[in-house]
Structure formats: C-alpha cells, structure tokens
C-alpha cells in the first residue's frame, strides 16, 4: 500500500482544437431554420461519456479513471446531410475538496472540436473524441489526498455556417441557467482547460 506522501495526482489534458464561435450564439430566423432543416434532415444528436476505473499499481485507494466522450448522430437515411462540427468539453471534480473539505471544486479538463463530414445519405454515426485519463483517491473520507474524477460534459454541434444544431449538458444548474440565457452557450463552450467551472449562477 502506498504511503500518504507517495500518493500522486495525474491529470491528462487534451490539446484544445481552436474553433470560431463568432456567430454561433445567434438564434436563426424562420428562413434560416428552414434551410438548416433541409441541410440536416431529421437530425438527432446524443452525447455520451464512457467511464472505466482501474486500480493503480498495488494501491487500495488510488484509481485511474478513463473517460471516452462521443456523440451519436442520426439523420434521414434517404437524404444528404451537410458537413458540421462538434465541440465537447469534460468537467472534472477534485476529490480532496469534496471529501476532506465538503466543497466542490470543478475544472474544465478537456475541450476538443471535430469536423463532421457531409454524407450523400444520412445514417447513424458515432464521432469519438480523445479519451481522458485521470488518477484520484477513491477513499471518501478526510484522508483523501485528491485527484480528478468525471463530473459533467458540455457539448454542442454546429452547422457549416456555425449556427447551433444541438446543445447538451448533464449539469442541471448550467442547463437551467442557459434556458433563460441561451446566448451564454458560446461563453461556456469557449472555456479553456484548467479554468474553474462554477455552478452557482445566481
């Protein structure tokens, strides 16, 4: 068993792929929406984050967590779909802050943008993003020395003219906040790895 002074924290940060969101916060008018519906017929998008935990060495408490983000896209099978892009952010939580101090400290762990090719006929497609591996102390008491474990995701898909096609997060506070402030989606999607993520939006 590792001693307390031998516990280590390792967080893998995936490189940011820059992406212009200069017009993405705009709500499309009726004509623009009709055009989007033609270019992306019967579009359905779902975000997923797979999680796998494994012990580190001979430790009884240090764990490695691997997170694998992906989106599943479906569109009309008899019609073409235009090219698009998707941005995916992962938010992690500091286990020491949570279990030793009773606080929640969240951080943007990764952000990545991928292009999605056009297709002549729609189909079900999975777009995988780079995996993130972190280590963390799994003891849920005052001995916890920290590490990062998965907490939330923020994901958006954009049309070829940067209009929003889909936005999704599993953070309830952020979801409620953006219902009344949709233009702020761009702000959160533009956050960088290492930035603190707050859920108190009052």
- pLDDT of 25-83, one tens digit each? 445 578 888 899 999 999 999 999 999 999 998 888 999 999 999 999 999 999 999 99
> Which helix or strand (DSSP H or E) is residue 103 part of?
none
Segments making up each domain of the chain, as ranges: 4-193
d(CA 202, CA 179): 14
d(CA 167, CA 179): 11
The predicted-structure confidence for 96-154, as pLDDT tens digits, reads as follows 999 999 999 999 999 999 999 999 999 999 999 999 999 999 999 999 999 999 999 99
């Amino acid at each position: 068993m590792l001693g307390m002074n031998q516990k280590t924290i390792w967080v893998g940060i995936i490189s940011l792929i820059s992406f212009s969101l200069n017009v993405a916060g705009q709500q499309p008018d009726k004509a623009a929406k009709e055009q989007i519906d033609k270019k992306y017929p019967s579009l359905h998008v779902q975000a997923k984050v797979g999680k796998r935990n494994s012990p580190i060495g001979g430790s009884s408490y240090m764990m490695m967590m691997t997170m694998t983000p992906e989106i599943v896209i479906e569109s009309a099978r008899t019609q073409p779909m235009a090219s698009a892009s998707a941005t995916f952010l992962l938010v992690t939580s500091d286990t020491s802050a949570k279990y030793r101090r009773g606080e929640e400290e969240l951080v943007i762990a990764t952000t990545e943008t991928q292009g999605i090719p056009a297709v002549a006929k729609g189909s079900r497609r999975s777009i995988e993003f780079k995996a993130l591996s972190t280590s963390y102390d799994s003891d849920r008491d005052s001995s916890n020395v920290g590490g990062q474990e998965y907490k939330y995701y923020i994901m958006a898909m954009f049309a070829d003219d940067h209009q929003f096609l889909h936005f999704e997060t599993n953070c309830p506070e952020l979801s409620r906040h953006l219902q009344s402030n949709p233009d702020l989606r761009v702000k959160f999607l533009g956050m960088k790895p290492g930035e603190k993520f707050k859920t108190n939006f009052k």
